[in-house]
Structure 1
């Protein structure tokens, strides 16, 4: 019997699809032993990828753009960051206000982000800007990963933040108010990808991508729906009604990308957001212009 291959996977919120793949036996059948490690921030995630502590990452594609092209990224160094597969198109991602707050409260208040230059933060700034709130109208609170931000929002530690991957359901149940869906307002959008930075992990990354995509299709077809509801309840701490809503959302706008295809138009959305908020011009050209014709950015099997 072939040896089981260990995989260190870094993610911000526990992956329901991965948990379903475990429970269905698909992970074992692929000869993988996946250790999912929750990361505190995108810089911490990419530091661990560069150092080899993580093999793969479930992350925003904007992070791949930042660490592949922008020398002024939070770590101050470039990486051969690549996308192996698209995972979801936003998965409930939206801008939320703390219970009882209105947009008027954002002015002069604290807005929670992972780090100021993350893709989710840029989407947040854009949605607030479209509602008449310039970035100078509020203070930024650096709160780390999404589960930390939903806790802070409900505790009143920030007036607004961006949430997704089931955390938005917790916020809604706690009385938070949705300002706008990122996946709908900024469509086409890409929320999560499976990414790699080291050549030695590309092959196992493709194998894991195959498992995740096959599992996603089985969830969407209804074959593994009950397993997905149970996994959402266990891994995300949702009660049964919220877990059922989470699974229903997997098939909606911003839901799972069952074929793993990276939509070039969605990438252009992310590039446009980063160029608007964080332009990096070298020799008269924005560094992200290279993303449009870079064959190494998306690596499929």
Structure 2
């Protein structure tokens, strides 16, 4: 089978992708992949819309924003589509810097986000509001918001004191916890069923090109969740994310978690996607035209053909 090289944007190294490559499932599905690490969601979607990237791993909220809302950070939209669900958040939660043990201590501080009007930021606002802190846009807010970019940059900012709290997951939360950061609350426990990461591509050609990757990732997740690839996952988690053996073991447990782990068949859970959309509508009430964003005729979800 001929290989179709794909350039895939990621914020952090993907353990799922690396396991798929390691066990031969990318090759079996006739696809080769180059991971391209990007610093922020605007950078990611600029490259996707310009064709520099073929596909990306990102929050579904980003796909919604860059498909439907012209006031996104790029000021333009495109035919971005969700091809497959990859995970349910992988431990996404709000973490406070070492020394901060309660949300009340965040009053008057600065919290870090990828972009203020993006999905993980909306999750952060919801979690902090559940803990008694008023979010941006509520009149008298309790904290300031700073744009810091993707997860690795936010983790560094949290630990070196440039922000007092941020959203972390997918292994970064383990590094934060072991460095003394405090988990204030998780997105799933506050917001309900959640969709953390999806595979996206732009236009029908992009969707066709990335479909074999979606198939390979779904098959890989189907093997990881029941524990059939634990040794490989442990190795790749240590290498990709810089985890200790103990942290890697915790990450494997999280990947297999039914509420926050991998999506074993790639199917988008509409209830979880509605949670993501509801957070955007709650914190960006001017986006009411998005109320029908999940309807099939709007084109957000690429029809399953595999």
When the two structures are superposed, what TM-score results if normalisation uses the length of structure 1?
Answer: 0.95
Tell me the equivalent position of 2:138.
none
Tell me the equivalent position of 2:29.
30
Tell me the equivalent position of 2:200.
195
Tell me the equivalent position of 2:262.
256
Tell me the equivalent position of 2:60.
61
Tell me the equivalent position of 1:124.
124
Structure 2 CA distance for aligned equivalents of residues 157 and 230 of structure 1 = 32
Q: What is the Cα deviation at residue 105 of structure 1?
A: 2.4
Q: 2:296 aligns with which of 294, 297, 300?
A: 294
Structure 1 CA distance for aligned equivalents of residues 63 and 213 of structure 2 = 18
Q: Deviations over 1:153-195 (max 9, x none)?
A: 1111111000011000000000000011112321111000001
Q: Which runs of 5+ in 1 are unaligned?
A: none
Tell me the equivalent position of 2:228.
223
Number of residue pairs the alignment of both structures matches: 296
Structure 1 CA distance for aligned equivalents of residues 105 and 126 of structure 2 = 17
When the two structures are superposed, what TM-score results if normalisation uses the length of structure 2?
Answer: 0.94
Contact residue 70 and residue 280 of structure 1 kept, 8 A: no
Contact residue 95 and residue 167 of structure 2 kept, 8 A: yes
Structure 2 CA distance for aligned equivalents of residues 134 and 187 of structure 1 = 20
Q: Deviations over 1:70-111 (max 9, x none)?
A: 121111112111100100011110000001113222111010
Tell me the equivalent position of 2:215.
210
Tell me, yes or no, if structure 1 residue 173 matches structure 2 residue 178: yes
Structure 1 CA distance for aligned equivalents of residues 209 and 192 of structure 2 = 31
Contact residue 112 and residue 149 of structure 1 kept, 8 A: yes
Tell me the equivalent position of 1:157.
162
**Hey, which bits of structure 1, 4+ residues long, moved more than 2 A?**
none
Structure 1 CA distance for aligned equivalents of residues 3 and 202 of structure 2 = 22
128-137 vs 5-14, which moves further? 128-137
Q: Which runs of 5+ in 2 are unaligned?
A: 136-140
